[in-house]
Structure 1
Amino acid sequence: MKTLKLIIALPLMALFIQNAAANGQSTGLYLTTQDYLNHKLSYNASNDQIKVNGLLGSSKVLLVHNGEKQAIAKGEVFGYRKDDKDFRLFNKGEYKILSSNGIIIYSKTSLVLQGKGPKPIELFYFSESASSPILSLTIANLESVYAKNQKFMYAVESLFKSDSELSSYDAYNKQFKLAYLYTENTK
């Protein structure tokens, strides 16, 4: 199953990143959490003609900068930006950052066997801060991380009845309901 994911994802990822760099879109690496928080790409593909490869299935990120290859250990890279979207690398996985308003909400597409073959589904995750571990977005995990913030947890328990509701998005206000609830209950 892992091999199948890698076979499918690796060429697509490499092609997408190369196309994004060629089109002048914002693509590059954030080496540190601080770089991400300051919206400062450590290596900017659109400015420096960088090609980023090897993001999946490897313990290293291969960076070609000004014609020179440089291998960077994944543990030394916070994440990357492509097509104006930010991603965080954590425990050999890559997570799309959906919201960084207070609580950080991520998504990750995974293949799940259903019917005649694998089907991609979007799973949701969160972290307390940009440097905190990424956890599955469940009421139990929220309770373990935010146990001391009773006001927030009471609000979560009253608004959300199941784990699947935690990823609710308010299209009118253009934000995740959980992120709004967090900012309103931590003042």
Structure 2
Amino acid sequence: MFPVAWLLLLPLVSTQTYHWGPCPNPSVQPNFDLQKYLGTWYEIAKLPAFFERGKCIQADYSLRGDGTIRVLNSQFYKDKVRTAEGTAVVQEPNNPAKLGVSFSFFSPYSPYWVVSTDYVSGAVVYSCTDVFRIFHVDYAWILGRSRFLPAETVEYARQLLAKEKIDTFMLSVTDQTGCD
């Protein structure tokens, strides 16, 4: 039975980025201003994520009355627009660029660290889950306020991630064509 369980997990494993050792600890955006970050961001490129397989991927961030952040992710997948609503919170008040996000009442907050942003055109976001400091699972996103960014901007973001010791080998461009 055990080998069968591993076979069932293979599709998830193949869509993730695993590395030995603990998570890297990249620098984050200094003097992060959450108010300026709110709004719509389009996914330009990402490390593989099993929960993102479609095209036209975007995230909308808005402040709720209780001070939490509403996260509404959407993507076009299998001929339908699919959405997922979650909640983000500032986890370290003295370092507001380190947010946590959860898409289920029962799941803990996962890191959502804004590594860099100019608030008006682009952002670089990183997340990592450490498994007993033996290995870690990386997620990284290059985001834009529009569906397309200049190639040099994307390359700059990729180099920024690499400088922070985040492996960008599997970084792939998100299809943002034909989106309404």
Q: Normalised by the size of structure 1, how large is the TM-score?
A: 0.29
* Bigger Cα Rg: 1
Structure in which a larger fraction of residues adopt helix: 1
Structure in which a larger fraction of residues adopt strand: 2
